[in-house]
Amino acid sequence: MAQTAFTPRVFSGIQPSGGLTLGNYLGAMKRFVEMQDAGTHETIFCMVDLHAITATLPPPDQLRHNTRELCAGFLAIGIDPEKSILFNQSQVPEHAQMAWIFNCIARMGWMGRMTQWKDKAGKNAEAASLGLFAYPTLMAADILVYHATHVPVGEDQKQHIELTRDIAAKFNHDYGVDFFPIAEPVIEGAATRVMNLQDGTKKMSKSDPSDKTRINLTDSADEIAKKIRKAKTDPDPLPETLDGLDGRPEARNLVNIYAALADIAPQAVLDQHAGALFGHFKMALADLAVAKMAPISTEMTRLMADPAEIDRILGRGAARARAITAPILARTYDIVGMLRS
Ligand code: ATP
Ligand code: MG
Protein backbone atom coordinates (compact mmCIF):
# COMPACT_ATOMS: atom_id res chain seq x y z
CA MET A 1 0.00 0.00 0.00
CA ALA A 2 1.17 3.52 -0.77
CA GLN A 3 2.74 5.47 2.08
CA THR A 4 1.59 8.89 3.22
CA ALA A 5 2.80 11.22 5.95
CA PHE A 6 -0.19 10.16 8.06
CA THR A 7 -0.29 7.11 10.32
CA PRO A 8 -1.66 4.31 8.12
CA ARG A 9 -5.25 3.68 9.09
CA VAL A 10 -7.90 1.62 7.28
CA PHE A 11 -11.57 2.61 7.25
CA SER A 12 -14.48 1.09 5.37
CA GLY A 13 -18.25 1.03 5.77
CA ILE A 14 -21.19 -1.08 4.63
CA GLN A 15 -24.83 -0.04 4.60
CA PRO A 16 -27.36 -2.05 6.59
CA SER A 17 -29.63 -1.73 3.56
CA GLY A 18 -30.43 -5.44 3.22
CA GLY A 19 -28.68 -8.77 3.59
CA LEU A 20 -24.99 -9.00 2.68
CA THR A 21 -24.23 -10.23 -0.83
CA LEU A 22 -21.44 -12.15 -2.45
CA GLY A 23 -20.49 -8.82 -4.05
CA ASN A 24 -19.99 -7.16 -0.65
CA TYR A 25 -17.97 -10.15 0.52
CA LEU A 26 -15.67 -10.62 -2.47
CA GLY A 27 -15.43 -6.95 -3.43
CA ALA A 28 -14.78 -5.53 0.03
CA MET A 29 -15.14 -7.65 3.16
CA LYS A 30 -12.59 -10.30 2.26
CA ARG A 31 -10.03 -7.49 2.11
CA PHE A 32 -11.13 -6.19 5.52
CA VAL A 33 -10.12 -9.44 7.16
CA GLU A 34 -6.80 -9.60 5.29
CA MET A 35 -5.97 -6.04 6.33
CA GLN A 36 -6.98 -6.65 9.94
CA ASP A 37 -4.95 -9.83 10.16
CA ALA A 38 -1.89 -8.25 8.53
CA GLY A 39 -1.68 -6.25 11.76
CA THR A 40 0.19 -3.38 10.07
CA HIS A 41 -2.70 -0.91 10.20
CA GLU A 42 -5.34 0.17 12.62
CA THR A 43 -8.60 -1.12 11.07
CA ILE A 44 -11.98 0.54 11.52
CA PHE A 45 -15.21 -0.93 10.10
CA CYS A 46 -18.58 0.73 10.24
CA MET A 47 -22.22 -0.16 9.69
CA VAL A 48 -23.26 3.05 7.97
CA ASP A 49 -26.86 3.24 9.15
CA LEU A 50 -27.18 6.96 8.34
CA HIS A 51 -26.49 6.04 4.70
CA ALA A 52 -29.10 3.27 4.82
CA ILE A 53 -31.98 5.77 5.09
CA THR A 54 -30.99 7.79 1.99
CA ALA A 55 -32.65 5.72 -0.77
CA THR A 56 -35.84 4.83 1.10
CA LEU A 57 -36.90 4.98 4.75
CA PRO A 58 -36.84 1.36 5.93
CA PRO A 59 -39.25 0.26 8.68
CA PRO A 60 -37.38 0.99 11.95
CA ASP A 61 -37.43 -2.63 13.14
CA GLN A 62 -36.02 -3.75 9.82
CA LEU A 63 -33.19 -1.23 10.00
CA ARG A 64 -32.32 -2.39 13.53
CA HIS A 65 -32.42 -6.01 12.35
CA ASN A 66 -30.26 -5.26 9.30
CA THR A 67 -27.66 -3.44 11.41
CA ARG A 68 -27.37 -6.35 13.85
CA GLU A 69 -27.26 -8.86 11.01
CA LEU A 70 -24.55 -6.84 9.28
CA CYS A 71 -22.56 -6.85 12.51
CA ALA A 72 -23.03 -10.64 12.68
CA GLY A 73 -21.73 -10.78 9.10
CA PHE A 74 -18.59 -8.83 10.01
CA LEU A 75 -17.96 -11.13 12.97
CA ALA A 76 -18.72 -14.29 10.98
CA ILE A 77 -16.19 -13.53 8.25
CA GLY A 78 -13.47 -12.98 10.84
CA ILE A 79 -13.53 -9.38 12.00
CA ASP A 80 -12.36 -9.41 15.61
CA PRO A 81 -13.87 -6.54 17.65
CA GLU A 82 -10.73 -6.44 19.80
CA LYS A 83 -8.34 -6.10 16.85
CA SER A 84 -10.60 -3.81 14.78
CA ILE A 85 -12.97 -1.04 15.77
CA LEU A 86 -16.48 -2.22 14.82
CA PHE A 87 -19.50 0.02 15.33
CA ASN A 88 -22.56 1.63 13.76
CA GLN A 89 -22.23 5.14 12.36
CA SER A 90 -25.13 6.84 14.16
CA GLN A 91 -23.55 6.14 17.57
CA VAL A 92 -20.60 8.33 16.58
CA PRO A 93 -22.11 11.80 16.00
CA GLU A 94 -18.87 13.27 14.61
CA HIS A 95 -19.58 11.56 11.25
CA ALA A 96 -22.67 13.69 10.67
CA GLN A 97 -21.03 16.79 12.14
CA MET A 98 -18.03 16.48 9.84
CA ALA A 99 -20.36 15.83 6.89
CA TRP A 100 -21.90 19.27 7.41
CA ILE A 101 -18.50 20.94 7.04
CA PHE A 102 -17.90 18.91 3.88
CA ASN A 103 -21.30 19.93 2.49
CA CYS A 104 -19.82 23.42 2.52
CA ILE A 105 -16.56 22.31 0.86
CA ALA A 106 -17.95 20.10 -1.95
CA ARG A 107 -19.40 21.88 -4.99
CA MET A 108 -22.83 21.09 -6.51
CA GLY A 109 -21.12 20.29 -9.81
CA TRP A 110 -18.93 17.63 -8.19
CA MET A 111 -21.93 16.00 -6.54
CA GLY A 112 -24.07 16.03 -9.67
CA ARG A 113 -21.43 14.00 -11.54
CA MET A 114 -21.60 11.05 -9.12
CA THR A 115 -22.74 7.94 -10.99
CA GLN A 116 -24.26 6.35 -7.87
CA TRP A 117 -26.50 9.40 -7.52
CA LYS A 118 -27.52 9.16 -11.16
CA ASP A 119 -28.12 5.41 -10.92
CA LYS A 120 -30.05 5.49 -7.66
CA ALA A 121 -32.05 8.67 -8.33
CA GLY A 122 -32.88 7.38 -11.81
CA LYS A 123 -35.24 9.38 -13.99
CA ASN A 124 -37.08 10.83 -11.05
CA ALA A 125 -34.31 12.84 -9.38
CA GLU A 126 -36.85 15.47 -8.24
CA ALA A 127 -38.36 12.89 -5.88
CA ALA A 128 -35.03 11.63 -4.48
CA SER A 129 -34.04 12.70 -0.97
CA LEU A 130 -31.48 15.41 -0.35
CA GLY A 131 -29.68 12.77 1.73
CA LEU A 132 -29.18 10.58 -1.35
CA PHE A 133 -27.58 13.52 -3.16
CA ALA A 134 -25.38 14.30 -0.15
CA TYR A 135 -24.41 10.63 0.39
CA PRO A 136 -20.82 11.14 -0.86
CA THR A 137 -20.03 14.02 1.54
CA LEU A 138 -21.15 11.86 4.46
CA MET A 139 -18.94 9.09 3.09
CA ALA A 140 -16.01 11.52 2.87
CA ALA A 141 -16.69 12.43 6.51
CA ASP A 142 -16.78 8.73 7.50
CA ILE A 143 -13.27 8.35 6.12
CA LEU A 144 -11.68 11.67 6.98
CA VAL A 145 -13.01 11.98 10.54
CA TYR A 146 -10.51 9.15 11.26
CA HIS A 147 -7.74 10.60 9.07
CA ALA A 148 -7.96 7.21 7.33
CA THR A 149 -5.35 6.66 4.65
CA HIS A 150 -6.61 3.46 2.98
CA VAL A 151 -10.17 2.56 2.05
CA PRO A 152 -10.88 -1.00 0.86
CA VAL A 153 -13.98 -0.91 -1.37
CA GLY A 154 -15.53 -2.46 -4.45
CA GLU A 155 -14.96 -0.83 -7.81
CA ASP A 156 -18.31 0.99 -7.72
CA GLN A 157 -17.06 3.19 -4.85
CA LYS A 158 -13.92 4.42 -6.62
CA GLN A 159 -15.57 7.66 -7.71
CA HIS A 160 -16.68 8.43 -4.14
CA ILE A 161 -13.11 7.97 -2.89
CA GLU A 162 -11.91 10.34 -5.60
CA LEU A 163 -14.45 12.87 -4.35
CA THR A 164 -13.18 12.30 -0.80
CA ARG A 165 -9.67 13.12 -2.04
CA ASP A 166 -10.97 16.28 -3.74
CA ILE A 167 -12.73 17.37 -0.55
CA ALA A 168 -9.59 16.76 1.56
CA ALA A 169 -7.43 18.66 -0.94
CA LYS A 170 -9.83 21.61 -1.17
CA PHE A 171 -10.16 21.87 2.62
CA ASN A 172 -6.37 21.73 3.03
CA HIS A 173 -5.91 24.31 0.26
CA ASP A 174 -8.67 26.71 1.34
CA TYR A 175 -7.45 26.80 4.96
CA GLY A 176 -3.73 26.56 4.13
CA VAL A 177 -3.25 23.43 6.22
CA ASP A 178 -2.06 19.85 5.70
CA PHE A 179 -4.76 18.45 7.93
CA PHE A 180 -6.64 15.76 6.00
CA PRO A 181 -4.84 12.85 4.32
CA ILE A 182 -5.48 12.10 0.66
CA ALA A 183 -6.95 8.63 1.16
CA GLU A 184 -6.12 5.78 -1.22
CA PRO A 185 -8.80 3.40 -2.49
CA VAL A 186 -7.81 -0.27 -2.15
CA ILE A 187 -9.65 -2.10 -4.93
CA GLU A 188 -8.17 -5.56 -5.21
CA GLY A 189 -9.00 -9.16 -5.99
CA ALA A 190 -10.56 -11.00 -8.92
CA ALA A 191 -14.09 -9.78 -8.18
CA THR A 192 -13.96 -6.03 -7.56
CA ARG A 193 -17.28 -5.66 -9.36
CA VAL A 194 -19.55 -8.70 -8.99
CA MET A 195 -22.40 -8.45 -11.46
CA ASN A 196 -26.12 -9.14 -11.11
CA LEU A 197 -26.80 -12.84 -11.82
CA GLN A 198 -29.70 -12.00 -14.14
CA ASP A 199 -28.11 -9.05 -15.96
CA GLY A 200 -24.34 -8.99 -16.43
CA THR A 201 -24.34 -5.26 -17.17
CA LYS A 202 -25.60 -4.30 -13.68
CA LYS A 203 -23.73 -4.75 -10.42
CA MET A 204 -25.02 -7.15 -7.77
CA SER A 205 -26.67 -5.11 -4.98
CA LYS A 206 -28.20 -6.01 -1.67
CA SER A 207 -30.99 -3.49 -2.28
CA ASP A 208 -32.05 -4.88 -5.69
CA PRO A 209 -35.77 -5.74 -5.46
CA SER A 210 -35.19 -9.18 -7.01
CA ASP A 211 -33.53 -11.78 -4.78
CA LYS A 212 -32.62 -13.93 -7.82
CA THR A 213 -30.08 -11.31 -8.89
CA ARG A 214 -27.75 -11.93 -5.94
CA ILE A 215 -26.34 -14.48 -3.55
CA ASN A 216 -26.86 -13.49 0.08
CA LEU A 217 -24.44 -14.54 2.79
CA THR A 218 -27.48 -15.96 4.61
CA ASP A 219 -28.68 -18.12 1.69
CA SER A 220 -28.87 -21.86 2.31
CA ALA A 221 -26.73 -24.28 0.30
CA ASP A 222 -29.81 -25.15 -1.80
CA GLU A 223 -30.60 -21.51 -2.51
CA ILE A 224 -27.01 -20.76 -3.50
CA ALA A 225 -26.89 -23.75 -5.86
CA LYS A 226 -30.27 -22.87 -7.39
CA LYS A 227 -29.37 -19.21 -7.99
CA ILE A 228 -26.11 -20.16 -9.69
CA ARG A 229 -27.87 -22.80 -11.81
CA LYS A 230 -30.41 -20.19 -12.92
CA ALA A 231 -27.86 -17.41 -13.49
CA LYS A 232 -27.99 -15.97 -17.00
CA THR A 233 -25.18 -17.25 -19.26
CA ASP A 234 -24.59 -17.90 -22.95
CA PRO A 235 -24.49 -21.13 -24.96
CA ASP A 236 -20.74 -21.02 -25.75
CA PRO A 237 -18.18 -23.07 -23.83
CA LEU A 238 -15.61 -21.46 -21.55
CA PRO A 239 -12.72 -20.05 -23.61
CA GLU A 240 -9.02 -20.73 -23.15
CA THR A 241 -8.00 -17.13 -22.62
CA LEU A 242 -9.55 -14.10 -20.97
CA ASP A 243 -10.10 -12.22 -24.23
CA GLY A 244 -12.56 -15.00 -25.13
CA LEU A 245 -14.80 -13.46 -22.43
CA ASP A 246 -15.00 -10.09 -24.22
CA GLY A 247 -18.62 -9.20 -24.94
CA ARG A 248 -19.80 -11.99 -22.58
CA PRO A 249 -20.43 -10.11 -19.30
CA GLU A 250 -22.34 -12.94 -17.61
CA ALA A 251 -19.66 -15.50 -18.47
CA ARG A 252 -16.89 -13.19 -17.28
CA ASN A 253 -18.77 -12.59 -14.03
CA LEU A 254 -19.03 -16.28 -13.16
CA VAL A 255 -15.35 -16.82 -13.97
CA ASN A 256 -14.36 -13.88 -11.74
CA ILE A 257 -16.57 -15.12 -8.91
CA TYR A 258 -15.00 -18.57 -9.15
CA ALA A 259 -11.50 -17.06 -9.13
CA ALA A 260 -12.19 -14.87 -6.11
CA LEU A 261 -13.79 -17.71 -4.13
CA ALA A 262 -10.92 -20.09 -4.95
CA ASP A 263 -8.25 -17.39 -4.41
CA ILE A 264 -6.78 -17.99 -7.86
CA ALA A 265 -6.40 -15.79 -10.96
CA PRO A 266 -9.22 -15.76 -13.55
CA GLN A 267 -6.83 -17.26 -16.13
CA ALA A 268 -6.22 -20.20 -13.78
CA VAL A 269 -10.00 -20.83 -13.79
CA LEU A 270 -9.94 -21.01 -17.58
CA ASP A 271 -6.89 -23.30 -17.46
CA GLN A 272 -8.99 -25.72 -15.41
CA HIS A 273 -12.33 -25.34 -17.21
CA ALA A 274 -11.68 -24.31 -20.84
CA GLY A 275 -14.08 -26.09 -23.17
CA ALA A 276 -16.65 -26.78 -20.44
CA LEU A 277 -20.25 -25.75 -21.03
CA PHE A 278 -21.90 -23.55 -18.44
CA GLY A 279 -24.19 -26.33 -17.21
CA HIS A 280 -21.10 -28.13 -15.99
CA PHE A 281 -19.12 -25.09 -14.82
CA LYS A 282 -22.07 -23.83 -12.80
CA MET A 283 -22.16 -27.07 -10.81
CA ALA A 284 -18.48 -26.66 -9.91
CA LEU A 285 -19.08 -23.01 -9.02
CA ALA A 286 -22.10 -23.87 -6.86
CA ASP A 287 -20.08 -26.47 -4.93
CA LEU A 288 -17.28 -23.98 -4.37
CA ALA A 289 -19.66 -21.19 -3.30
CA VAL A 290 -21.50 -23.45 -0.87
CA ALA A 291 -18.23 -24.71 0.62
CA LYS A 292 -16.96 -21.16 1.20
CA MET A 293 -20.19 -19.48 2.25
CA ALA A 294 -22.26 -22.00 4.19
CA PRO A 295 -19.97 -21.73 7.26
CA ILE A 296 -20.40 -17.93 7.22
CA SER A 297 -24.16 -18.29 7.10
CA THR A 298 -24.18 -20.83 9.94
CA GLU A 299 -22.03 -18.55 12.11
CA MET A 300 -24.27 -15.55 11.39
CA THR A 301 -27.31 -17.51 12.53
CA ARG A 302 -25.51 -18.48 15.74
CA LEU A 303 -24.51 -14.87 16.46
CA MET A 304 -27.99 -13.51 15.72
CA ALA A 305 -29.37 -15.65 18.55
CA ASP A 306 -27.76 -13.20 21.01
CA PRO A 307 -28.64 -9.66 19.85
CA ALA A 308 -27.74 -8.17 23.25
CA GLU A 309 -24.13 -9.30 22.77
CA ILE A 310 -24.10 -7.68 19.31
CA ASP A 311 -25.39 -4.43 20.80
CA ARG A 312 -22.65 -4.55 23.45
CA ILE A 313 -19.98 -5.02 20.79
CA LEU A 314 -21.33 -2.05 18.80
CA GLY A 315 -21.52 0.14 21.90
CA ARG A 316 -17.92 -0.59 22.83
CA GLY A 317 -16.79 -0.06 19.24
CA ALA A 318 -18.54 3.32 19.17
CA ALA A 319 -16.77 4.43 22.36
CA ARG A 320 -13.40 3.46 20.86
CA ALA A 321 -14.30 5.25 17.61
CA ARG A 322 -15.21 8.46 19.43
CA ALA A 323 -11.82 8.55 21.10
CA ILE A 324 -10.45 9.15 17.57
CA THR A 325 -13.22 11.25 16.02
CA ALA A 326 -13.87 13.77 18.82
CA PRO A 327 -10.36 15.32 18.75
CA ILE A 328 -10.24 15.34 14.92
CA LEU A 329 -13.63 17.10 14.73
CA ALA A 330 -12.54 19.59 17.42
CA ARG A 331 -9.39 20.42 15.45
CA THR A 332 -11.46 20.78 12.27
CA TYR A 333 -13.81 23.21 14.00
CA ASP A 334 -10.80 25.19 15.25
CA ILE A 335 -9.37 25.42 11.73
CA VAL A 336 -12.75 26.56 10.38
CA GLY A 337 -13.11 29.17 13.15
CA MET A 338 -15.94 27.74 15.21
CA LEU A 339 -15.84 29.28 18.69
CA ARG A 340 -15.43 26.92 21.62
CA SER A 341 -15.73 28.09 25.19
P1 ATP B 1 -26.91 -0.92 -1.88
O2 ATP B 1 -27.61 -1.60 -3.01
O3 ATP B 1 -27.82 -0.59 -0.74
O4 ATP B 1 -26.07 0.27 -2.31
P5 ATP B 1 -24.56 -2.56 -1.92
O6 ATP B 1 -24.69 -4.03 -2.14
O7 ATP B 1 -24.12 -1.72 -3.05
O8 ATP B 1 -25.91 -2.02 -1.29
P9 ATP B 1 -22.94 -1.04 -0.07
O10 ATP B 1 -23.22 -1.04 1.38
O11 ATP B 1 -23.39 0.15 -0.87
O12 ATP B 1 -23.56 -2.38 -0.70
O13 ATP B 1 -21.38 -1.25 -0.31
C14 ATP B 1 -20.56 -1.93 0.65
C15 ATP B 1 -19.25 -2.33 0.00
O16 ATP B 1 -19.47 -3.41 -0.91
C17 ATP B 1 -18.58 -1.22 -0.83
O18 ATP B 1 -17.19 -1.31 -0.63
C19 ATP B 1 -18.94 -1.57 -2.25
O20 ATP B 1 -18.00 -1.09 -3.17
C21 ATP B 1 -18.90 -3.10 -2.18
N22 ATP B 1 -19.77 -3.68 -3.20
C23 ATP B 1 -21.11 -3.51 -3.30
N24 ATP B 1 -21.59 -4.21 -4.35
C25 ATP B 1 -20.50 -4.81 -4.93
C26 ATP B 1 -20.35 -5.68 -6.05
N27 ATP B 1 -21.40 -6.04 -6.78
N28 ATP B 1 -19.11 -6.12 -6.35
C29 ATP B 1 -18.03 -5.77 -5.60
N30 ATP B 1 -18.11 -4.95 -4.53
C31 ATP B 1 -19.34 -4.48 -4.19
MG1 MG C 1 -24.01 0.39 -2.83
pLDDT digits (tens, 9 = 90+) for 50-88: 999 999 999 999 999 999 999 999 999 999 999 999 999
Q: How far is the CA of 330 from the centre of ligand 1 (A)?
A: 31
Residue 110 pLDDT level (bands cut at 50, 70, 90): very high
What pLDDT shows up at residue 221? 87
- The response to whether residue 17 sits with its C-beta less than 6 Å from ligand 1 reads yes
Average pLDDT (295-308) is 96
What pLDDT shows up at residue 2? 53
pLDDT digits (tens, 9 = 90+) for 168-187: 999 999 999 999 999 999 99
Environment class of 78 (CB within 10 Å of its CB; exposed 0-12, middle 13-18, buried 19+):
middle
pLDDT > 90 fraction of the chain, expressed in percent and rounded = 94
Environment class of 5 (CB within 10 Å of its CB; exposed 0-12, middle 13-18, buried 19+):
exposed
Residue 4 pLDDT level (bands cut at 50, 70, 90): low
Please say whether the dihedral angle defined by the alpha carbons of residues 314, 318, 321 and 323, taken in this order, is positive or negative: negative
What is d(CA 19, CA 324) in angstroms, rounded to the nearest whole number? 29
What pLDDT shows up at residue 1? 54
Nearest ligand by distance to the CA of 27 = 1
CB atoms within 10 A of CB 18: 20
At 198, is the secondary structure helix, strand, or coil? coil
Q: How far is the CA of 135 from the centre of ligand 2 (A)?
A: 11
pTM of the model: 0.96
Pocket residue to mutate for ligand 1, from 24, 88, 150, 160, most atoms within 8 A of Cβ = 24
